[in-house]
Each structure stands twice: as C-alpha cells, then as structure tokens.
Amino acid sequence: MQVLKFGGTSVASAENIRKSLAIVATAAERGPVVMVVSALGGTTDALIGAGRAAAAGDAGYRDTLLQLAARHRTAVQELLPATHSGPEGQLVSQFGEITSLCNGIFALGELSTRTLDKLMSYGELLSSHLIAAVAKVQGQATVWADARQLIRTNSRFGMAEVDMATTQKQVADFKTQNPAKIWVVPGFIAADAHGTTTTLGRGGSDYTAAILAAALDAEKLEIWTDVSGMMTADPRLVRSARPIAHISYQEAMELSHFGAKVLYPPTIQPVMQRGIPLWIKNTFAPDEYGTLVEVEPPRTPAVVQGISSIGNLTLLNLEGSGMVGIPGFSKRLFEALARERINVILITQSSSEHSICVGVNTPDAAPAQVAVDEEFATEIAAGRIEPLRPEKDLAIVALVGENMKNHPGISGKLFGALGQNGVNIRAIAQGASEKNISTVIRAADVRKAINVLHEAFFEATKKQVNLFILGPGNVGSKLLEQLARQQAHLLEKLGLQVRVVAIANSRHCLVDENGLDLTAWPEELAQAPAQTLEEFTQLIIARNLRNSIFVDVTANPAAAGIYANLLAKSVAIVACNKVAASSEYAHYARLKSLSKEFNASYLFETNVGAALPIIGTLNDLTRSGDVVQRMEAVLSGTLNFVFNNYDGTRPYAEVVRQAQAEGYTEPDPRLDLSGSDVARKILILAREAGQVMEMADIEIETFLPPACLEGDVEAFYTQMAAHESHFKALYDAATAAGKRLKFVARYADGHAAVGLQTVAPGHDLYDLRGKDNVVLFYTDRYADQPLVVKGAGAGAEVTASGVFADIIRAARL
Ligand SMILES: NC(=O)C1=CN([C@@H]2O[C@H](COP(=O)(O)OP(=O)(O)OC[C@H]3O[C@@H](n4cnc5c(N)ncnc54)[C@H](OP(=O)(O)O)[C@@H]3O)[C@@H](O)[C@H]2O)C=CC1
Ligand SMILES: N[C@@H](CC=O)C(=O)O
C-alpha cells in the first residue's frame, strides 16, 4: 500500500482537489492508495474562531459558519455534476450539526477541549467526504474510511496519544473488509475507547498518514504540500534556500522540531520504526524531486543538511553558589516545570554547576517563573540561589546534519560567521551525537543569522554584501557608476553579490532592501523622502543586514560621528571622508579598537593620495616589523595641479577654480589651499606608522595671504585674485632659481610639518606631473633608497576606485 497525504493548500479549492486526485490516480496505477486529507485550507482556524466566538457570547459565529458552508458548497458544485445531489445533501446535514454544536457552546458560554475536538473534526470530515465522492465520480474504486474507526487514542483532547496496537488491529480489519483501491481518510482526527472524537494536534494529518503507513506496513508515505520538499532554510527568510533531496529520519526530525513547518514532527517516528521511506512532494510541481527521508540517504558533500530556527523563546536562568556540588537541583527544576506541563526546548549547564539555563516558549515563561521560584523558595530566601531570571525576545538557530560529528571546525565556522556579523550568542547546546548545534540569539538577529549561516554552509561561492552609501556627490556618483558596471563581474569572479541598499545625501534617502537600481538612482533620490543622519544610522542598524558596509563619501564631520555607533553593531566602515581619522587621537584609536572588537573593517585608504596604495603599503611595512624613520611627500593633488599649471599667464585664482572644476579640491577648496588637508594626511600617515599625534602637533606653514581665509568661499576667490602679485612673486622667485614650487609634507622623529618649498631639478619631488602625489618612505629596511608610491592623487574617478577597492577588502574579510 502507498499512503499519500494532502495538506490544506493541496485541497483548498476545486482546482487543487483535482490536482491532488490526479496524483492519487497516477499512484493507484501502481497499487492501492490510502489518501489522507486535511481540511480545506483555513477551515480549522475558522471552526476554532466560530467556537471561541460562540463561547464568548459573540453571535458572529453564525456568519463564519455561513461563509464556511458557502465555500464548501462552491467546491461541491465545481467538482460534482448537478445530477449528483448526495454530497450537497450531506453538506447541509453536516453544517446543521456544526451549527447545533456552536449554538450549544453559545448557550453554555463554554468551550471544552472535548467539544473543540468535535468541532474541529468537521473540517476533515467535510473535505474527505467531498473528495471521496469526486474520486468515485471519476470512476475510481474508492471507499471513505472514518479515521475515528481506524485510529484509537487516549482521551487527552487536543493532543491525544495513539494506542498503536489497537489501531493496527482496526486498520487490518478495515483492510480485510474493504478491498477498494483507494481509501479516502480524514486526517487529524481519531477516537478514544468510548468512540468520542479526539484530535492529534495541529498539523496532525501528517501524523494520521504516518500512523496508517506504519499500521499497513506501507511501501512508502508521501506528504504532498505546497513546497518542493524540506529546504536548507526557511525560504521566507533565505531567498537562496533550496530543497534537500535526501535526508535521514533523524535529520528530518531535528529540522521539523526546529521549525521546518513542512512536516509535523511526530510524523517521523512511526515510519522511522519500520524504515518506511517518506517523500515530501509538491502538489503544484509534482515533477520536482522533493525530499526523500530514508534510513541511509546517499551522502553528499554537505555536512550541514539544514538550518532552522524556533522563535518566541525565553531563557530561564537558575543560578547560585548553593547549587554547586549538590545533587538534585536539576531534578527539582525539571519536575517543577513538568508539573506545569511546560515543555523545555533547550538545556545548558555550565560545568561549574553554578547555573542551569533552560529555553521555553515565551508564553510558558511566566508560569515557569512562578513554579520554579516556589520550588526553590527556601534556597532563594537563604540567598543560596537567585530568583529565576527570564530573558525574552530570543530565538534558537540550529545547524542540523548527522555527519557534523565527523567534521572538525563546524562550530568554529558557525561562531565565526555569526561573530563577524555582530550576532551575539546567548546560549549554546550541542548533544554528543552532534546532529544539532543550537545557538540562542536575539530574535531580531534571526534573519541575518540564518542568511549568514546559509552563505557559510551552503553558498561557499557566494557572499552578499549590503552597502549604505552617504554622499553621492563628485566621488560618490562615480563610485555608483563603477559599482553598476562591476556588479556582474564581482558576482562571477569573486562570488560577491554587492547590493546598494541605500543612498542618501543631505536632503533625501533612497532605500531598497533588495538592492537599488544603480542606473535610475539620481531621479529616484530626488523624489525620495527626507531623512536625517540619525535616521539613516538607525536605518542601517534596524535593517540588520548581513555584511553591512557604511560608505562615507561626504566631507561631513557629523557623518564621521556615526562610525563608532555602527562599528559597535559590526557594520564595517569605508570612508574617503578624512574627518574621523584626523580627529582627536583618542577617537581615532577608539574606532580602530571598535573595529577589532566587533570584527568590522574600518578602511580609509583614500584619505591619503586617493586610490594610491599608500596606507596599505605603510601597514604592510609596519606589520612585517619595519620601522618608519621618515616620510617626505607631496599629498595635495590640488596644489600640485595648481603649481604645475600656474605660470602667471592666467590668474592664480582661475587655476584654482579649474582644479575645483576638475574635481581635485575638497568640497571646500580652502582646506587644500591653506595646507590643512595636507596636514591631516601626514597626521594620518604618522598615526598609521604608530605615532600618537594630534592635529595641533603638525606645523603648517601656509603660503596664502591671511585675507584669503577670511569670509566664505567666494570671498576666498576674490581675495586670491586681489593678491595675484603675491602668487606671481612666489612663482617668479622659484623659476629664477631654476626650481619648482611644491607643497611638501615631512615627518621624522615624531615631528611633522607641511609647507611650500622650491625644489631643484634632480630632487625626488621635482618631476611630479599634473595632480600626482608621491610618498617617500624611509624605513629601517629602506634606509638609503626610499620606498616610493607615486601617481594620480586626486580626482573623482580614481578616488571612487579607491573607495571601491576598500569595499571589496571589507567584503572579503
Ligand atoms: N576629490 C578627490 O580627489 C578626493 C576626495 N576625497 C574625499 O571625498 C569626499 C567627497 O568629496 P566630493 O565628492 O568631492 O564632495 P561633494 O561635495 O561633491 O559631495 C559630497 C556629498 O556629501 C553629501 N553630504 C554632505 N553633507 C551631508 C550630510 N550632512 N548628510 C548627508 N550627506 C551629506 C552631499 O550631499 P548634498 O548634495 O545634499 O549636499 C554630497 O552628495 C571628501 O571627504 C573628500 O575629502 C578623498 C580623496 C580624494
Ligand atoms: N583635495 C584633495 C583630494 C584628495 O584627498 C587633494 O587635492 O589632494
């Protein structure tokens, strides 16, 4: 015999019932079939709602029943010819019974579990009668089998326990008396020894099918549902989740216990005992393989079979020095919980025996607390143990796989992946059989955690990275262009799925958690809602997406002020904004230490020399044990461009304007011309070389007449024009001496200075073209000849490429 079970969605409409019957007809060609059916999707909830409303004195239950009757009548009319009046008459009589039952509940104002079982049973009775009638009309040799006469249970209404021996006998008797090829059986319901209707728990139709499969020693059990098998993770949380083709009973049981809703957990036991293969198949895609649960599934390279989660968890922590070394505390704790019928989902105990921690469903937490505090009242009063401490809003995320025990490093990978994304683990449980490694985490982190783990264990070749970009100006817009061009390449070559989740400027913020369209953003951003920097920060934190990177492409001090908050949430920072790295040393050092503590990159290569590998080179030198003796550098693309292009034929101010127009200056060009921008760059290099230094320690020798720095940017240009003779004199003096003007930064022995110099031909800085920068590192290893990094040191395109490179570094960490 084959047992095929069809769930609520598989029989929710006339069309779906036809699909289910077609599957049964195909199976019947191979041999007899037991078809177990659920109620039409949503019916059980509606019946419970009607019963509860009636008990509460709400006459609205009548409308619910009328709607339910109409829905079933429609199904009958769509499935059966008008000449076939039997089922419709049966429907009328069954709804008559349901209505009488609800009227009784309404009159008494009470709904017992026994009456509720009776009421709920009508869902499956209605659907099974209808489906049996349709099968008969389709010409199948069909019999309707009353599950109440097949499955015997005790009288624990709501969640009855099965008497397998009696059930087996009743099933065997029925089989002898009914040679029909197809049995249609209502799932979920059974009866006790008095013939009173009981139910097997919500989702119990799967269990009905498994009990019948075991009683008949069926060749297989098929659970037909609306997904193509058990998935590697909940597909509502993980888009790339995929069906698991083969899985063992133990693994399926772990996954179903841990929230894989596709299978009611008790279903596995009866078929496992007899080694009956269990298929999970999709009614709406019957050709898809689905999942085969079997004794010895073929082993795949996958060590972890699935990742699942249980929400709504509260941890109860019993602790105190009075517990250490004294037997019996655990026994009393669990007995107190058992007396209240509280189910313990997870247990951990420290080897010091100073505490025991159990996880329970959150609705059970309050009664559990009362029961346990009562049980240990004497010890609590004596201060030997603490009153029970509940910790709410938690969830379990578990790795499941029988083969994990043979592979070292699984837990390490699990903890590493979660830690890198700032997911704090509150408790851990792993049995010695190592089929399941459970972690308790904040409920708010579940989606991120499952995705991170799914990537780590099932998508080794792909990593999703989520960018939050602030400041799509000169550099930022180039960055977005480059990202748009490279997205496909990054996915193909590096396995990085780089998504821009948000773009914001000082006025608007554009968000799409699935990744913004990087061609349409300028128009969309202009239309997007307003958002403050604080709201933007909260957005990044609240979205809580894995591998989040905040990309600061502004020059704004307030933007630099949010890094610490984000790093502490394990959000990486990539910044071309130089404000943070050149702020007070204590703040710079704090950001570096937060980056280490929370495993989140803080990268700012473009702070010095745009995309030139200057900070990276310096870091490589110092990490490998070299010591920087001195540095000599030209670090302003703007000033190099200006002094390379000014010869007195055009006003100095006009050449500066050109540098600004070409995108080399800071948003405020006075920072470049005053030497401040160069000062902060040499400060950053000195710090990265290991020096504790402040901005005030840098000697800045400005060449600008003081009047140029009074007033706003326009006044600055006006004053430069007014002081043309000053700039001309500087140029003429240098030229007369056969030299060139260079704005130079120097660092040696803990001292740094920046200022304008004339350099002679042959000097390392003499031949520096266009907007180029150069840094000469003199170190212990490069004592005579410096290590030189040289190239374009400003410009939107190159700077954006440097930011891009930092993003990739952060993503690949
Ligand atoms: N140009 C270069 O060669 C190099 C530049 N850099 C750095 O790149 C950064 C950006 O320069 P650049 O692109 O030229 O500057 P832009 O002025 O062109 O762009 C700045 C962007 O930041 C946004 N912004 C400013 N303040 C805020 C705020 N409070 N909140 C949100 N967004 C804000 C602006 O938005 P809005 O339009 O609404 O004001 C704009 O989109 C600077 O820090 C600079 O030092 C680093 C290396 C080289
Ligand atoms: N304004 C800067 C740009 C890079 O930091 C410069 O001119 O060098």
| CATH number, position 156 | 3.40.1160.10
- The pLDDT of residue 188 is 97
**What is the 3-state secondary structure of 333-365?**
HHHHHHHCCCCEEEEEECCCCCEEEEEEEHHHH
Instruction: Please state at what angle helix 652-661 crosses helix 637-645, rounded to 10 degrees.
Output: 140
Q: Is residue 114 part of a domain?
A: no
> Distance, CA 671 to ligand 2 centroid (Å)?
9
Q: Are residues 376 and 391 in the same domain?
A: yes
If the chain, 813 residues long, is cut into consecutive pieces of 10 residues, what is the mean pLDDT of each piece?
Answer: 96 96 97 97 97 98 97 94 80 95 98 97 97 95 97 96 97 94 97 97 93 97 94 91 93 79 86 96 96 88 88 92 79 94 88 82 96 94 91 95 87 93 92 82 96 92 94 98 97 95 97 95 97 97 96 98 97 98 98 95 98 98 97 98 98 98 98 98 98 98 97 97 98 98 97 98 96 98 97 98 98 88
Return the amino acid letter for 233.
A
The residue length of the chain stands at 813
> Distance, CA 637 to ligand 2 centroid (Å)?
5
Ligand 2: nearest atom to the Cα of 640:
7
3 state SS of 758:
strand
Q: Is 794 in the pocket of ligand 2 (CB under 6 A)?
A: yes
Which residue among 641, 657, 660, 664 is best mutated to probe the pocket of ligand 2, counting the most ligand atoms within 8 A of its Cβ? 664
Ligand 2: nearest atom to the Cα of 669:
1
Q: Is 793 in the pocket of ligand 2 (CB under 6 A)?
A: yes
Burial class (CB in 10 A: 0-12, 13-18, 19+), 7: buried
* Domain final residue pick, 445, 476, 510: 445
Q: Are residues 418 and 535 in the same domain?
A: no
Q: Are residues 312 and 372 in the same domain?
A: yes
Separation of alpha carbons 211 and 370, rounded Å: 38
- The pLDDT of residue 435 is 87
Q: Are residues 658 and 761 in the same domain?
A: yes
User: How would you classify residue 786: left for phi > 0, otherwise alpha for psi between -120 and 50, otherwise beta?
Assistant: beta
The angle formed by the CA atoms of residues 436, 441 and 444, to the nearest 5 degrees, is 130
Q: Are 607 and 615 in contact (CB under 8 A)?
A: yes
Separation of alpha carbons 520 and 794, rounded Å: 27
- Domain of residue 515, CATH code: 3.40.50.720
Q: How far is CA 558 from CA 443, 502, 533, 577, 629, in A?
A: 31, 18, 8, 11, 35
Q: Are residues 214 and 329 in the same domain?
A: no
Q: Is 665 in the pocket of ligand 2 (CB under 6 A)?
A: yes
> Distance, CA 566 to ligand 1 centroid (Å)?
20
- The pLDDT of residue 255 is 87
Domain that holds residue 676: 614-794
Q: Is 610 in the pocket of ligand 2 (CB under 6 A)?
A: yes
Which residue among 677, 774, 799, 803 is best mutated to probe the pocket of ligand 2, counting the most ligand atoms within 8 A of its Cβ? 677
Q: Are residues 514 and 564 in the same domain?
A: yes
> Distance, CA 96 to ligand 1 centroid (Å)?
73
Residue nearest atom 23 in ligand 1 by C-alpha distance: 471
Which residue among 482, 503, 506, 639 is best mutated to probe the pocket of ligand 1, counting the most ligand atoms within 8 A of its Cβ? 506
Q: Is 640 in the pocket of ligand 2 (CB under 6 A)?
A: no
Q: Are 694 and 584 in contact (CB under 8 A)?
A: yes
Residue nearest atom 3 in ligand 2 by C-alpha distance: 794
Ligand 2: nearest atom to the Cα of 635:
8
User: Nearest CA to 44 among 99, 128, 122?
Assistant: 122
Separation of alpha carbons 582 and 680, rounded Å: 6
Q: Are residues 17 and 148 in the same domain?
A: yes
Ligand nearest to the CA of 469: 1
Residue nearest atom 1 in ligand 2 by C-alpha distance: 665
Phi, psi dihedral angles at 57 (to 5 degrees): 80, 20
Return the amino acid letter for 57.
G
How many CB atoms lie under 10 A from the CB of residue 377?
A: 11
Ligand nearest to the CA of 605: 1
> Distance, CA 267 to ligand 2 centroid (Å)?
67
Query: What DSSP string runs through 168-217?
Result: HHHHHHHHHH---SEEEEESSEEE-TT--EEE--TTHHHHHHHHHHHHHT
- Domain of residue 328, CATH code: 3.30.2130.10
Q: Are 690 and 711 in contact (CB under 8 A)?
A: no
Q: Are residues 397 and 520 in the same domain?
A: no
Q: Is residue 734 part of a domain?
A: yes
Q: Is residue 34 part of a domain?
A: yes
Q: Is 668 in the pocket of ligand 2 (CB under 6 A)?
A: no
Q: Is 438 in the pocket of ligand 2 (CB under 6 A)?
A: no
> Distance, CA 667 to ligand 2 centroid (Å)?
10
Q: Are residues 375 and 470 in the same domain?
A: no
- Domain of residue 668, CATH code: 3.30.360.10
Q: Is residue 138 part of a domain?
A: yes
ipTM of the complex: 0.99
Ligand 1: nearest atom to the Cα of 555:
43
Phi, psi dihedral angles at 309 (to 5 degrees): -150, 150
Separation of alpha carbons 809 and 806, rounded Å: 5
Separation of alpha carbons 168 and 694, rounded Å: 84
Q: Is 666 in the pocket of ligand 2 (CB under 6 A)?
A: yes
Q: How many domains does the chain have?
A: 4
- The pLDDT of residue 433 is 66
User: Nearest CA to 599 among 542, 548, 541, 552?
Assistant: 548
3 state SS of 222:
strand
Q: Is residue 603 part of a domain?
A: yes
Q: Are residues 547 and 431 in the same domain?
A: no
Q: Is residue 691 part of a domain?
A: yes
Residue nearest atom 28 in ligand 1 by C-alpha distance: 506
Q: Is residue 653 part of a domain?
A: yes
Which residue among 482, 505, 536 is best mutated to probe the pocket of ligand 1, counting the most ligand atoms within 8 A of its Cβ? 505
Ligand 2: nearest atom to the Cα of 773:
8
Residue nearest atom 2 in ligand 2 by C-alpha distance: 665
Separation of alpha carbons 717 and 4, rounded Å: 83
Which residue among 468, 470, 475 is best mutated to probe the pocket of ligand 1, counting the most ligand atoms within 8 A of its Cβ? 475
- The pLDDT of residue 431 is 67
Name the pTM for this structure: 0.79
Radius of gyration, alpha carbons of the chain: 36
> Distance, CA 664 to ligand 2 centroid (Å)?
6
> Distance, CA 669 to ligand 2 centroid (Å)?
9
Ligand 2: nearest atom to the Cα of 608:
5
Residues with CB under 6 A from ligand 1: 470-476, 504-507, 533, 553-556, 558-559, 576-578, 606, 610, 637, 663-664, 666-667, 794-796, 799
Q: Is residue 787 part of a domain?
A: yes
Tokens of 124: 């499956």
Q: Are residues 559 and 707 in the same domain?
A: no
> Distance, CA 794 to ligand 2 centroid (Å)?
5
Strands (E) in 233-337, as ranges, are 246-248, 278-282, 291-294, 306-319
- The pLDDT of residue 575 is 98
Residue nearest atom 35 in ligand 1 by C-alpha distance: 505
Q: Are residues 514 and 622 in the same domain?
A: no
Q: What stretch of H or E contains 644?
A: helix 637-645
State whether the Cα torsion 89-91-97-99 is positive or negative: negative
Ligand 2: nearest atom to the Cα of 659:
7
Catalytic positions, written as ranges? 681
- The pLDDT of residue 174 is 97
